Structure 1
Amino acid sequence: MNELLELILTPLEAGLSGQLRQRVEGDQDDLKAEDDNLYVFGEALQDFPDRDSPEWWLDPAQCRWWLCLHVDWKAYSEVAWQVQAICRTLGLETGFVSEAEAQWDSYFEELDRLRSRHADSGSVSQVSLTDRLKAALGKLGKAARQISLGELMKQVQPPSPNFLTPDVLGDASEWLRRQGYELLYLDTGGDEHLAVPVRLDLLVQARAVAERLSIPTHLV
């Protein structure tokens, strides 16, 4: 993994990259099984603070580095702050907000409001309700748009976040790509998403290194 690590560390100043390299090497000594390799590697690339405070991921005094996006398949709300942390570490623009996530949240707020008004007063006709729900859907992912409006109205809880996570990850990749980086996804064999930021000019080399390590990779 050392060759892949060096490619990830390339943009960092020597002091920080040295600290991170020591962290990775130290954590690798604690491996209990071969299958742990990617997880330990990812954890070493994330520096959690001793205490939780607002926006700690943007404060280098609390979080020295963050160079790994690791989220559960349904944890789309965990993507934005991790991308912001990655950008802060790399000296990039940190103001990432997922358009897909914002529209998703706005949609369900509108859905709840219209459902409440329709049930209480009957003041919203089915025609206007349909039109406004379609408008609220906006540019959400294709899978979410394919749910019928009738089915949406019946659901107390939102549809599975699996509909949204790929769209949020796509927004994250696009944000970093515009700043000269690519999120390289490493296949853990599980259902979570694990990716590391690689400079665009090093991407081909990084994928070749991962292939030699028998780690399948993909881009979003």
Structure 2
Amino acid sequence: MGLVSIRHGSGIYLSRGDPINGVWSTRWMQWVLQHAPSLLEMFEVREAIEAKAASLAARQASAAEMRRLERILTEADALLARGRAHLDEEFLRSYVRLDAAFHETVAEITHNGFLRSLLAALGSALAESREATLAMPGRIERSLREHWRVLEAVRRRDAEGARRAMEDHMRRVIQEVRSVKVLHRPNRQPGTERGR
């Protein structure tokens, strides 16, 4: 059984259930294991999906959903204001949790279950890289400013602005992680990734 089912004389229908689970998930995981995509490849896919999520959120977010995003960012601001050392494990874990919550909430606001599932799968695959990225000097402050720009565009119902803000955010993440050469497959030398 796949993502669609054909009912003769009736039409083609999406199968029920979470598309990330079941056969689709198994095929996806088989592909991942066989091809071993680099972090760069996964980040590029995440960039495109996150940008689309931000655009949809700007069109669809309710006032309550916007407040949820604002609460997350306000909590992150308060965390920074307390002035914990960035390499302190508790501080870093707290910010990583808020960073993940922001991105997950943007995805939830799209009301698109398939998009949410894709981002959840990518988020799981990239969980360790999130902490490594945010531990870089100055990255938390930059990340938080970029998140506020996304929210500002969502509040204005500026779908294109939200898309651009999220795209810029993800590109900076890619650039910064790339600078410490953790985006390449272990069996590849830096510089042998396909061109960008």
Using structure 2 for the length normalisation, give the TM-score: 0.30
Q: Which has the higher contact order (CA 8 A, sep 6+)?
A: 2
Using structure 1 for the length normalisation, give the TM-score: 0.27
Larger radius of gyration, structure 1 or 2? 1
Query: Which is richer in helix?
Result: 2
